Structure 1
Amino acid sequence: MWADPISPERMATALSKLEALAQAAVEAGAVPGLAIAVVHDDQVIFLKGFGHREAGKPEAIDADTVFQIASLSKPVSATVVAALVSDRVVSWDSRIADLDPAFRLADPYPTSQLTIRDL
């Protein structure tokens, strides 16, 4: 099942609402700042920072601001890897050392045997 294509007008309206929501969140003090990137049809169509990197400090958030994603890194990484498995780029049983010859653990045996499934 495929979604209907979105019209440029509908996209512009949605992005305008998204921008207003982000600005309102910053102004309400919900967060000191945030960045939003929207990708549509493999193109970045919206990329903007709002607010400040740290509460009470002047550095603004922009498109190049790097955020720590903390607890989100595991589910995001798992989603990316699952997509690569789905696209047959790798398999769950691909060995990490085969994919990255520089990969090293303290013990050579697990280094040679560790698979994507193990991660």
Structure 2
Amino acid sequence: MYPLSGANADHIGGVGNSSLLTMRILNKLHRIGLARETSTSNGKINGPLCRKPRILKLKKSQYKLQMVHPKTTSEGIGCWPLGLSDMLYQAGKEYPYDGQDWGYLLWRKTNCCLL
């Protein structure tokens, strides 16, 4: 995830590189205070579950990625958590004739507060 400069010096594959850059964007949103904690196990009344506080550190267990372009990941591993090795989901997803555009659907775990 580091450095946060946006450049990736060790480009191994398009899928691994694009998911790394997606993770860096999420981390940056948390560091500047725009993202909130939407999943917690603390269920106290008027606790963090109800307030949804801003957290400055990325909580990887809160997010999952799903590839939607150039090939969807509906078979096998549909959604993968942040930090999972890209060897499990990158096979057959990179085409030399179809460009280098990658699209991901971002899933965020959300616990609801009912009072």
Same fold (TM over 0.5): no
Q: Which one has a bigger Cα radius of gyration?
A: 1
Which has the bigger relative contact order, CA under 8 A and spacing at least 6? Answer: 2
Given the two structures, how large is their TM-score scaled by the length of structure 1?
A: 0.31
